[in-house]
Amino acid sequence: MSESKLKTQSMDFAVQIINLVKALKEKRENIISNQIGRSGTSIGANIREAQYAHGKADFIAKLQIALKEANETGYWLELLYKTNYISGEEYKSLGSVCTSIRVMLISSINTAKENVK
């Protein structure tokens, strides 16, 4: 999996999350918007941190944190959909990107772990 594709996709996703948070704030939704704003932008930040990791174990740990944040973001997206703050179409679109990032992260983590052996 291309590391630059993962960085690009996580950055694009963070932009989408920030725009979602703006829309949620306009609807006066503050609880979930704060949570998803943190977790959704943290994915890319941890991927970027992994770029300058202090060795393979640190690299893997940073990607695992990004994976956990992506999983949390998926939860918040589902909750927003189930509480009618976002449409089914928006949920599917953002959820698909989030899932794609998770798949890339799992692949990168597994590859990194194989290279440790």
* Count of structural domains within the chain: 1
Written as tens digits, the pLDDT of the chain (117 aa) is 456 899 999 999 999 999 999 999 999 999 999 999 999 999 999 999 999 999 999 999 999 999 999 999 999 999 999 999 999 999 999 999 999 999 999 999 999 999 775
What CATH number is attached to the domain comprising 25?
A: 1.20.1440.60
The predicted model scores a pTM of: 0.92
Question: What is the span of the domain harbouring residue 59?
Answer: 3-116
Q: Cβ contacts of residue 69 below 8 Å, gap of 6+? A: 39, 40, 42, 43, 46
100 burial (CB, 10 Å; 0-12 / 13-18 / 19+) is middle
Q: What is the DSSP letter of 86?
A: S
